[in-house]
Structure 1
Amino acid sequence: MKLPDKQCAISAAIGKIKDGDTVMVGGFGVPGTPMTLIHSLVDHGARNLTLIKNDANEPGMGIDHLLQSGQIAHLITTHLGLNGNAITLMNSGKLAVEFNAQGILAERIRAGGAGIGAILSDIGIGTELADGKQVVELQGKPYVVEPALRADVALIHADRADRFGNLAYVATARNFNPLMAMAARCVIVEAERVLPLGQLRADEVHTPGVFVDHITELGELSEEYAVVRR
């Protein structure tokens, strides 16, 4: 069986994102954040998006471009502390924000990719993090029910990919990317290099190509990636 070549133009892949979609975006700060895909999404113009990302990046980079263009209606994240623009939008009521403990966000995404409906956690009991959430008792102890997270689209950054979509990440740039690649209906990847089939050894593959729908090769990285240049 011949494996498909999933390479395509960024604009063609990003053009599949619709108004109102839920979009997962990989990254932890700069490492692993798909900066080029984000810029393409700004150009595409889809609005009223629910965005799931660990953080809001810093002003002038990453998802801040989507915040400034008014395309994000709801942000599910762990913190906004490095982005004053995001904080201003939240405080003015222009951006709905759902905060999660970082491990809970990761586990909710993992559960979505594994087909699990929810996780139980004692984190946040008696705090604002548990407000409005279902609490159940198990073996005499209360747990918050944290629904799994899935998305219409995931935007992923990888160091290397082959044409079928097998992905390899480098160091901390791996972060949320493998989890998100399993938890979305459509997975769009920007890779620093796209290799012929067979050039990624089996033990180098962190995300199997069966989870990936579209791949684009970046070539030279822009200044926005400067902190992760190797």
Structure 2
Amino acid sequence: MLIFSLNTFGEPRVTKFLYVKRLEEIVKDVSLLTLGSLGNTLLAMDVGRYVGSVVKSLGYSYYLLGPLDTLSSDDSDYYYRVHKSPYITADIYDKFALGLSNAGVIAVFDGRGKIDTNLVSSLITRKLTYPVLVEEEAKANLLKTLGYKGVFIIENDGEYAFFNSFPIKLYWSIEILDIEALRKRVLLNSIIYLSPGKIQVKVPFATSGVVVYSDDDFVLEEAKKVLEKRAGPGRVPW
């Protein structure tokens, strides 16, 4: 196995290849769950392109996109999931990963912990067999048994080993994109109308009112209009 050092926050190391900051740490208030709530899922590709431009500028070639699991009420972290549907999750991952690749960055799935076999099947069907980060060889073997034919990266004490391949680097890159306009489009397009009621900020599994993912003024103003119209652009991911 080839072992490379990982630096999460971009400080200089001999080798940097996998960037693991979560999406909401890169784009304020925009998480995987936000993307799963989008009415216009093509925006996920634009977000991927922006994230890729940032990651590439820091010298990384791979980005940890999200888990091989779907959203459920017993999750410990709702914001590190896309949607309850494996098919919609796979679609968002597809678009996000394409945006990353446009910026010269390769997506990596997080196979640590719980996995949803239906999501794995959906990814295989779409031929989205990007590298997968696993906690042990047994998880790689399980995914192989499920038919996942991809590269596996094993985590061990802060270091990451390519288990069955070698790291590669895409030669192209793009300029870092302007995030403010894109962030606004994403946050407005993910406003969810459930029923008459109040505006709820970051309340997954809410059953009434309007759910938004930011308390920025422009989001709250639009949420008021959504309440009045009783219709919003976002879709319910839970």
TM tier, smaller: 0.3 to 0.5
Structure 2 length-normalised TM:
0.33
Structure 1 length-normalised TM:
0.33
Instruction: Choose between structure 1 and 2: higher strand proportion.
Output: 1
Instruction: Choose between structure 1 and 2: higher helix proportion.
Output: 2
